[in-house]
Chain A
Amino acid sequence: MDLLRFTTAGSVDDGKSTLIGRLLYDAKSIFEDQLQAMERSTERRGGTGVDLSLLTDGLQAEREQGITIDVAYRYFATPKRKFIIADTPGHEQYTRNMVTGASTANLAIVLIDARKGVLTQSRRHAYIAHLLGIPHLIAAINKMDLVDYSEAVYQSIQTDFSAFCQQLGARDVRFIPISALHGDNVVEKSARMPWYTGDTLLDTLEGIHIQHDINLRDFRFPVQLVCSPQISGLPDFRGYMGRIESGCVRAGDDIVVLPSGHRSHIKDIVTYDGNLSVACAPQSVTLMLEDHIDISRGDMIVHPENPPRSAREFHAMLCWMSEQPLHPRGKYLIKHTTHTAKAVVQEIEHKVDINTLATGPASELKMNEIGRVLIKVQRPVVCDAYRDNRASGAFIVIDEHTNNTVAAGMIEGAD
């Protein structure tokens, strides 16, 4: 059984919580005690029956205010697949949550209210999903019950949203007309929309091919730890521990260590369960090399044929997440793979209006704003462009004084 991580984005009234509740309920992943707790809460608020949206309210403040504050993770499994949902609130001020949820997802569900059509926020969700490199997008046209299950309404929204996604360059976009409230096309096929011949939402989630989402072409192994236990019986054991972030490696392969450029061969691929002849992303392994060379945390072991870039200066998209805005010349730490370095933002090249996708000049980036910057680092980062390789193209920005994570970064390229 494999694992699909997806994110849901939608605004307060789009019925996102109801959709997740419905998915879990119909997939039989809501338990009786949770159901009873929801019934009690619904009654306390003067309702009757079960309000499925209550399932996703985690924190006291959320229940009090009836809003979602933070990313919540939910789990369910069907006989075909295990799912992790990053459930993110949709309000404008929570762009940072949407980016957080999107960063680990293979798929995004963008909820569109059938009565309202494609709104600014639908475009914003699609833009963020695309910016974060999510390979699959599902536009769930919700509340079809409130537009009499009209095919014409569905088609007009599909036309609008397809045009926008094409402008973004999103490749895999699917449309499903649903009613989360009544369950149409969520898990069960709707009898009220015979004109829709496609899969239900759950069938789509179960069937989508995700094997090719991970880059199995370019071997990237950031060293996390050097293991030389110096215990009796293993006096010479020296292994490089880490997770293969992309690509595959075989015993005997030629490798190069970056940024030093030292060359060697893979002697053994060691795991607790025995040595492997080949290992692929995202396996965690310990590599042993033929030659004793100086390697430490933050270095990257790769194949010499298609190495990443080593750059001291690079262009990147930043999503700013701190109350304190970013100013040009600001000094920060960046953490990229297993490498943390001092960095300075040389220049804010432009800011993106995420509602219109228009770009314009900016003197700062405020919380929830997205812009393109030029960053200079004290030690070179060994990187790929984010669009080619999410693992070696992503970084976070840390404020050295508060220790807070203040931005998500995606490398666009080096000059």
Chain B
Amino acid sequence: MPAPLSHLDVLESEAIHIMREVAAECKNPALLFSGGKDSIVMLRLAEKAFRPGRFPFPLMHVDTEHNFPEVIAFRDRRAAELGERLIVRSVQDSIDRGRIKIRHENESRNVMQTVTLLDAIQEFGFDACFGGARRDEEKARAKERIFSFRDEFGQWDPKNQRPELWDLYNTRVHPGEHMRVFPLSNWTEMDIWQYIAREKLEVPSIYYAHRRDVVWRGGWLPVSHLVQPKAGEEVKNIMVRFRTVGDMSCTCPVESDAATAEAIILETAGSRITERGATRMDDRTSEASMELRKREGYF
């Protein structure tokens, strides 16, 4: 009898099973790949699920063009290494075409991604999109199904979700509707880092401690072309790492000298603040902001 499976083995097997169900039952799926740590884990799970074959779906990134350059470079390199097709759809294009109205150039584009994402889903006729969201991230996510139904407007109705029993997933949708599928639903931030360490996965360098210019705006914000110090603001150069990688205008790093996945695991074990609480200014606006965004069709 082999040794009992560890929690990572069980989570991995569950995610592989979910991905294979989508491949078997959905006609035209896609995997949303941002270059962030959760979607990097998803790519490894897809390799485990489908090699030696090719992935039965393309990768797709909704690019805010407010991303960290290290992440975009990593995204392109990883897709090329895997030899899989990468589709990129840009929020800037949606703005240029008048699909999105902006107030000023440097505002956060997190919410805007929804428009570009839903347009792309319609453009390619995707009936299922894998997302890397986890239930431990946020309380609206804690109530979302692994197979999460979206109506023809791409909307999530949290009060009217399909019951999800055992691991018998109901993948059926009518034309124009689609599923968001979250293979990492049951993973925590800690599991992700343990898996990255175990699988020796490469992640963009900004996840590890590095020196960076930051300004304090209720959290450290990285100085970039989007965030310029205002009069009276002090620019500090400190050791930081990013716990999430999103829109540069609203993603805060945390002070850290953790330079390896193992060091991050130790830091995560001692952390007293949630991942999003520490790093996403846009999630602090109201108790329901993630729920509202999700209802509109956000990731």
Chain A window 46-72, contacts with chain B (Cβ cutoff 8 Å), 1 for yes, 0 for no? 000000000001111101000001111
B163 at the interface (CB under 8 A from A): yes
Given contacts A60-B291, A75-B186, A395-B168, contact A282 B5 (CB under 8 A): yes
Given contacts A72-B143, A396-B170, contact A33 B2 (CB under 8 A): no
Partner of A396, one of B7, B12, B49, B168: B168
Please determine whether A394 and B17 come into contact, CB atoms closer than 8 angstroms. no
Chain B window 159-171, contacts with chain A (Cβ cutoff 8 Å), 1 for yes, 0 for no? 1011111111010
Residues of B within 8 A of A391 (CB): 166
Give Cα distance in the complex from A74 to B288, angstroms: 18
Nearest A residue to B50 by beta-carbon distance? A227
Please determine whether A58 and B140 come into contact, CB atoms closer than 8 angstroms. yes
Please determine whether B7 and A404 come into contact, CB atoms closer than 8 angstroms. no
Q: Which residues of chain A from 359 to 415 have any CB-CB distance to chain B below 8 Å in the complex?
A: 390-391, 394-396, 398, 403-405, 408
Please determine whether A59 and B158 come into contact, CB atoms closer than 8 angstroms. yes
Residues of A within 8 A of B291 (CB): 58-60
Please determine whether A2 and B6 come into contact, CB atoms closer than 8 angstroms. yes
* Most B-side CB within 10 Å, residue of A41, A82, A279, A297: A82
B173 at the interface (CB under 8 A from A): yes
B23 at the interface (CB under 8 A from A): yes
Given contacts A1-B6, A31-B273, A280-B1, contact A74 B164 (CB under 8 A): no
A275 at the interface (CB under 8 A from B): no
A317 at the interface (CB under 8 A from B): no
B257 at the interface (CB under 8 A from A): no
A358 at the interface (CB under 8 A from B): no
Partner of A33, one of B23, B136, B186, B278: B278
Partner of B21, one of A224, A248, A396: A224
Give Cα distance in the complex from A273 to B48, angstroms: 8
> How many interface residues does B have (CB within 8 Å)?
61
Chain-A contact segment, one of B51-59, B100-108, B111-119, B204-212:
B51-59
Give Cα distance in the complex from A57 to B138, angstroms: 11
Given contacts A272-B51, A403-B173, contact A284 B16 (CB under 8 A): yes
Please determine whether B1 and A231 come into contact, CB atoms closer than 8 angstroms. no
Given contacts A34-B274, A60-B291, A282-B14, contact A70 B20 (CB under 8 A): no
B266 at the interface (CB under 8 A from A): no
Given contacts A224-B21, A231-B52, A335-B170, contact A283 B5 (CB under 8 A): yes
Please determine whether A82 and B273 come into contact, CB atoms closer than 8 angstroms. no
B77 at the interface (CB under 8 A from A): no
Please determine whether A75 and B51 come into contact, CB atoms closer than 8 angstroms. no
Chain A window 311-341, contacts with chain B (Cβ cutoff 8 Å), 1 for yes, 0 for no? 0000000000100000000000001111000
Please determine whether A103 and B166 come into contact, CB atoms closer than 8 angstroms. yes
Chain B window 121-165, contacts with chain A (Cβ cutoff 8 Å), 1 for yes, 0 for no? 000000000000001100110110000000000000011011111
B188 at the interface (CB under 8 A from A): yes
Please determine whether A58 and B143 come into contact, CB atoms closer than 8 angstroms. yes
Given contacts A271-B48, A272-B48, contact A84 B186 (CB under 8 A): yes
Please determine whether A283 and B7 come into contact, CB atoms closer than 8 angstroms. no
Residues of A within 8 A of B273 (CB): 31-33
Please determine whether B188 and A77 come into contact, CB atoms closer than 8 angstroms. yes
Q: Which residues of chain B from 5 to 38 have any CB-CB distance to chain A below 8 Å in the complex?
A: 5-7, 9-14, 16-17, 20-21, 23-24
Please determine whether A405 and B48 come into contact, CB atoms closer than 8 angstroms. no
B217 at the interface (CB under 8 A from A): no
Please determine whether A225 and B143 come into contact, CB atoms closer than 8 angstroms. no
Nearest B residue to A35 by beta-carbon distance? B272
Q: Give 14 new A-B contacts, CB below 8 A, not counting A63-B288, A73-B135.
A: A2-B10, A33-B277, A41-B287, A59-B158, A70-B159, A73-B185, A74-B136, A229-B52, A271-B48, A282-B5, A335-B168, A336-B168, A395-B168, A403-B173
Chain B residues with a Cβ under 8 A of chain A: 1-2, 4-7, 9-14, 16-17, 20-21, 23-24, 47-54, 135-136, 139-140, 142-143, 158-159, 161-168, 170, 172-174, 185-186, 188, 190-191, 271-274, 277-278, 287-288, 291-292
18 pairs across A/B with beta carbons < 8 Å? Answer: A1-B6, A58-B143, A74-B135, A75-B188, A99-B163, A224-B17, A224-B24, A225-B23, A231-B52, A241-B20, A243-B13, A243-B17, A248-B2, A272-B51, A280-B1, A280-B5, A282-B10, A335-B168
What 7 A-B pairs are tightest by C-beta distance, nearest first? A33-B277, A229-B53, A284-B16, A58-B139, A403-B172, A3-B7, A272-B48
Chain A residues with a Cβ under 8 A of chain B: 1-3, 31-34, 37, 41, 57-61, 63, 69-75, 77, 82, 84, 96-97, 99-100, 103-104, 211, 216, 224-225, 227-229, 231, 234, 237, 241-243, 248, 271-273, 278-280, 282-284, 297, 321, 335-338, 390-391, 394-396, 398, 403-405, 408
